[in-house]
Amino acid sequence: GQNIDQPTEMTATEGAIVQINCTYQTSGFNGLFWYQQHAGEAPTFLSYNVLDGLEEKGRFSSFLSRSKGYSYLLLKELQMKDSASYLCAATNDYKLSFGAGTTVTVRA
């Protein structure tokens, strides 16, 4: 079966850093995705980790530890437009198993 856990909500101040943790237990794990989703819209791709370690892409970084079944998404220099739901998803190659999402609220 698939079990993806992430916090429900997080709040941070504009310009700050927020780290969203995700733990997973899945069969046939191939990699870990992070998506951003604004209310009522489609998920948009942020990052994909296959190997252990940190992947940095501008203000967003993602980390994966396969042995611990753990990932995090780091959002730096938060902007108001970063207020959204962030979805952690594990893949077994063809399908994605999503966590329930973490709603991040950025306050001025």
Partner 1 sequence: DSGVTQTPKHLITATGQRVTLRCSPRSGDLSVYWYQQSLDQGLQFLIQYYNGEERAKGNILERFSAQQFPDLHSELNLSSLELGDSALYFCASSGSGQGAVGYTFGSGTRLTVV
Residues that bind partner 1 (CB under 8 A): 4, 30-31, 33, 40-45, 48, 87, 89, 91, 93-101
Rounded CA-CA distance 15/28 in Å is: 38
Closest to partner 1 by CB, 45 or 51: 45
Rounded CA-CA distance 35/68 in Å is: 21
Closest to partner 1 by CB, 68 or 95: 95
Residue type, 22: C
Closest to partner 1 by CB, 48 or 60: 48
- DSSP helix/strand/coil, 42: coil
Q: At closest approach, how far in Å is the CB of 5 from partner 1?
A: 11
Rounded CA-CA distance 41/104 in Å is: 16
